[in-house]
Amino acid sequence: MQNENDKKETTKTTVRITGMTCAACSNAVERAIRKVEGVDFAAVNLATETAFVVHSSGVTFDDLGKAVESVGYGVSREIPEELDRKRYLDSRKNLLLALAVTTPLAVLMVFHMLGIHMPWFPLLELVAAGYVIFYVGRGSIKGAWIAVTHLHTNMDTLISIGSVAAWITTLLNVSGIPIASFGSIGAMIVALHVSGRFIESSLRDKAAKEIKNLLKLRATEARIVVDGKELMVPIEAVTKGMTVKVRPGERIPVDGDVISGRSSVDESMITGESMPVIKENGALLTGGALNITGELLVSVTKTGEDTFLSQMVSLVQEAQGSKIPIQALADGVTRVFVPIVTLLAAIAGGTWFVLFPALYPRLEAIRHYLPWVLETDSAVSFGVFVFVATIVIACPCALGLATPMALVAGTGMASKRGLLIRNAEAIQTTKDIEVVLMDKTGTLTAGDPSVVFHNLSSSDLAAAAAIERRSGHPLAKAIGSAVEGDLPDPDPESIEEIAGKGVRGMVGGKLFEIGKPRSFEDYTAWLGGGKTVVEVVRDGEVAGFFAVEDPIREDSASAVEEMKRIGITPVMITGDNETTARAVAERVGITEIHAGVRPEEKLEIVRQYQASGKKILMIGDGINDAAALKGADIGMAIGSGMDLAIDSADIVVMSGGVSRALECIKISGKTFRIITQNLFWAFLYNIVAIPVAMAGLLHPAIAEIAMAMSSISVVLNSLRIKKEGS
């Protein structure tokens, strides 16, 4: 039995699923994974063919694989690009085989229907259609068998029932039973289904282009320097602390710090910013960026799954593999859709068989306008005709793809704009945001502060700088680098960071407390100019202060103005003093501020706004923002901030400032609009088409074309998110 600590330790795993063809398949896999002991959450995405699972540390990949296999599907450890390529080649092969056999068969069928009878055609139809249905379409039959043996149904169930039923009519006809032969129709159903799957697969890959581009940035080799010698090694062999040389024109293979050299680096594929950035001694480098002009020596800080690029890919895949609330509607429908349609098809076919003499004459006038309506004297033939058409037209593939395809396109567009959506539900919620709460330092400001004045003695300055260098606060870097000359670098002890107050530690037996001033009265001149004052207290006595200035981000004022224009209320919420906060707020155009608040008070302010019925987006970057980010309807962390803030956020901003919130709101609105359009047309298509097929007015071949076009239209409509956002 797990102890309490084990239960709290959770792991996120993305599993690649094989064999899924429709929403019913993904629902069956999801239910199976959720039943695994230790799994807290599971979401299976048909569009990306992945399962995103949150589980306890005791659950292994093999445990998840067994659960998937228990309902007839498979898991793959292959590299996604290789699996996608294999899927593409298989679908292309099946398409070519299906078309090679079905096209001449369809031509001969037309001659037969026009009265040019060939005595050998029924036997040819039996063999050729059987090849297409049972060999080319074996994947659908296998999928249908898996579903039936595991007591559920899926799209393959409908395709297989329809095509096999059509082929059986040919078998009966060849056997001498007087029934119209639909074997060619069965082959056409499979050929059109395979064609639709091929086109759909190609479009899915196009929709996921952004994540594929990120994967392409991963290096396979690195040039390490050992004892002055250069050696090319697989990227898996590179470890933290190694020295890597990157020449001009090469991609940076790992995350690290520049220890020698100067160069322009293109980080556009990661940050979205097109301008190259100068990197020199001490600068941070991100794996996947392109080195342009100079040679760089890099000390490796992160490798493998710890690198920024790997984490970025994981976050995007995690969001694309998740589900949003509106998808529950589609999932609920598809779960019962196939058995209901099968029942309706059987009822329709049976009704036409029983009431054929009374109902069929009513179609005489309609046949002049709809020439594909079957002309026959056989009640059995027409009953089968209606049954097959109803089965085929009702495949719920479009319904299953409606939400996940739009989600893939939306999250891909967001990543291209420097936004990582960690929680897919943010796609649905962000569009409804009414109030944006923004931290000041590192959010509205650039997060690159510098000390413009201090009045500390050299010893106190050295002590304060040494303590701040061990702090994670945005102002700490500025204070930590304020030491000039040959001052000593003491080794502080007992360092403690107090969220909302500052940091303290022991240096030379003295207690230094660095943070918010006890009283702001003596610093009004500095505060009124927008500076932040950090007071240094030594053993209970004020030793001096730092005046720190953090430039306002270029996009802050314009973003605030745009928020007001579209009806969103911008609010500053900061732990800094009110005088400084108001000075910055006035420069960016914010009138509503909350200053001098502690971390728990930030969360309380978030709840106060929520209590008034408003949707809240909180933007921050520090430890003191983490609780508010978690408590807000949407938490957005600036990517340069603390790991705790990023871990608490639904969305991570990799480049830019608060203007990215507006980008996210727009992408959310576009994505949700596309999802609702997809669901509306998918529902409407089935509501209209099924009764038409049951009425005997729809040919099975036309039904298959309509079904395939419905799925393709959903994918194409989802791609509009990227087109509109470009």
pLDDT at 3 over 50: no
Q: Are residues 264 and 291 in the same domain?
A: yes
Span 536-591, pLDDT tens digits:
999 989 999 998 888 888 888 999 999 999 999 999 998 777 888 888 898 899 99
Of the pLDDT bands very low, low, confident and very high (cuts 50, 70, 90), residue 658 is: confident
pLDDT at 42 over 70: yes
- Number of other CB atoms surrounding residue 362 within 10 Å: 10
pLDDT at 169 over 50: yes
Of the pLDDT bands very low, low, confident and very high (cuts 50, 70, 90), residue 94 is: confident
Lowest-pLDDT range, 60-64, 86-90, 452-456?
A: 86-90
Span 358-384, pLDDT tens digits:
998 888 778 778 877 878 888 888 888
pLDDT at 337 over 80: no
- Tell me whether residue 439 is one of the annotated catalytic residues: yes
Q: How far apart are CA 408 and CA 309, in angstroms?
A: 19
Q: Mean pLDDT, the chain, as a whole number?
A: 80
Q: Are residues 97 and 68 in the same domain?
A: no
The domain that contains 611 carries what CATH number? 3.40.50.1000
Q: Are residues 65 and 126 in the same domain?
A: no
The domain that contains 474 carries what CATH number? 3.40.1110.10
Q: Which residues of 479-494 are buried (b: 16+ CB within 10 A; e: fewer)?
A: bbebbeeeeeebebee
pLDDT value, residue 7: 41
Of the pLDDT bands very low, low, confident and very high (cuts 50, 70, 90), residue 117 is: confident
pLDDT value, residue 119: 80
Q: Are residues 204 and 345 in the same domain?
A: yes
Domain with 607 in it: 419-445+553-655
Please indicate, yes or no, if residue 492 is contained in any of the structural domains: yes
Amino acid in the structure at residue 46: L
- Return the bridge partners of 266, or none: 290
Q: Which residue has the tokens 């809240």?
A: 616
Q: Are residues 545 and 557 in the same domain?
A: no
Span 420-444, pLDDT tens digits:
777 767 877 888 899 999 888 778 8
More confident residue, 444 or 329: 444
Q: Are residues 119 and 138 in the same domain?
A: yes
More confident residue, 1 or 298: 298
Which residue out of 331, 439, 576, 621 is catalytically annotated? 439
pLDDT at 400 over 70: no
Domain total of the chain:
5
Please indicate, yes or no, if residue 227 is contained in any of the structural domains: no
**How large a percentage of the chain has pLDDT more than 90?**
11
Span 208-254, pLDDT tens digits:
555 556 566 667 788 888 888 888 888 878 888 889 999 888 888 88
Count CA atoms within 13 Å of residue 235 on its CB side.
Answer: 18
Span 127-165, pLDDT tens digits:
999 999 999 988 888 888 887 887 777 777 777 887 888
Of the pLDDT bands very low, low, confident and very high (cuts 50, 70, 90), residue 18 is: confident
Of the pLDDT bands very low, low, confident and very high (cuts 50, 70, 90), residue 592 is: very high
More confident residue, 441 or 257: 257
Q: Are residues 565 and 632 in the same domain?
A: yes
- Terminal CA-to-CA distance of the chain, rounded, Å? 53
Amino acid in the structure at residue 594: H
Q: Are residues 87 and 163 in the same domain?
A: yes
Of the pLDDT bands very low, low, confident and very high (cuts 50, 70, 90), residue 709 is: confident
pLDDT at 473 over 70: no
Please indicate, yes or no, if residue 312 is contained in any of the structural domains: no
More confident residue, 647 or 186: 186
Q: Are residues 472 and 486 in the same domain?
A: yes
Q: How far is CA 168 from CA 29, 154, 155, 342, 384, in A?
A: 32, 21, 20, 17, 10
Measured at the CA of 602, the angle between CA 600 and CA 608, to 5 degrees, comes to 105
Q: Are residues 478 and 373 in the same domain?
A: no
Lowest-pLDDT range, 83-92, 658-667, 714-723?
A: 83-92
